[in-house]
Amino acid sequence: MKRYHAILTVTIVMALTAFTTSCQDYDDDQEFLSNVDMAYNATLATLVEPNFPAGVATIKKDNEEYAYVVNPGILSQYGIQHAGDRMFCRYIGVESPAGAQDSRAPYIRITELQQILTKDIDILTDTETDVYGNDGINCIAHHLGKEYLTLQFQIYGSNTGIKHRISLVAKEGDMPDKDGLLAVELRHNAEGDGMVFMGRPGYVSFSLAGAPGYDEGTLKGFKITYRSISDGKRTVTISYVDTKALQNFPFAQETWSNTKIK
């Protein structure tokens, strides 16, 4: 099998996630999820310590585990330079480097890396201009961790020089319901780009910090409404099901979205 397949789905085995197939909206690119799966050590993660001596740079995986990176140059190479930067990475475990302060800590060598756009959840007020758009978007999959909600999506576009806006929007004053679910909208603003070609899957992480109910401890998930490309309005419910269960989250490696987003 070649390392890079034209369209390749990889399986991430990870903890602390809520994954459901109800957020599937493949349109005419459904086949990208039907190719050969490849299982390995992989995770969604956040850069915690951006210092770059080997064995000092630290990431926090979405299962709440920390790991020290022995080849930190790959982080800056792919734009992971600041605390809070999000990534998908493939890695192998390695021995602790000579002189390591904690020889028992997990040390890893990252073999592949993709940066993930990370944003806050937007709060739309009555007096604010709605800049979030209402262009079609397909929600394919989701991962809900303790600190971030990560979505996989598809959108139409034509000009790769135009950055599309992807947003998760809550209304001012809204709070989680009795089940802890916050009503939000997944919004897409094509910024005038022609809706011509179906882009390859894209990924975005939304920080839960500052979301209504998060600081109070009442936020347990989301009820996301979005305008599907294929059949109009859809709603998907995402909640913490079993934070210790092993789940899957699909990632396309080389087929990282060719549509720019912001």
Q: Using one digit for the tens of pLDDT, what is the confidence trace for 134-182?
A: 999 999 888 888 899 999 898 888 877 888 999 999 999 999 999 999 9
Dist. CA 229–CA 26, nearest whole Å = 9
- Find out whether 41 and 93 touch, Cβ atoms under 8 Å: yes
Q: Using one digit for the tens of pLDDT, what is the confidence trace for 78-103?
A: 889 889 999 988 899 888 776 666 66
**Domain boundary assignment for the chain:** 117-241
Written out in words, the top-level CATH class of the domain with range 117-241 is mainly beta
Of 111, 107, 91, the closest CA to residue 99 belongs to 107
Residue 201, pLDDT score: 78
Going by pLDDT thresholds of 50, 70 and 90, the confidence category of residue 130 is: confident
- pTM score over 0.85: no
Higher pLDDT, 105 or 215: 215
Dist. CA 167–CA 154, nearest whole Å = 13
Those residues with Cβ within 8 angstroms of residue 250's Cβ, 6 or more apart along the chain or in another chain: 9, 10, 11, 12, 33, 140, 141, 152, 201
Residue 149, pLDDT score: 93
Q: What is the mean pLDDT of the chain?
A: 77
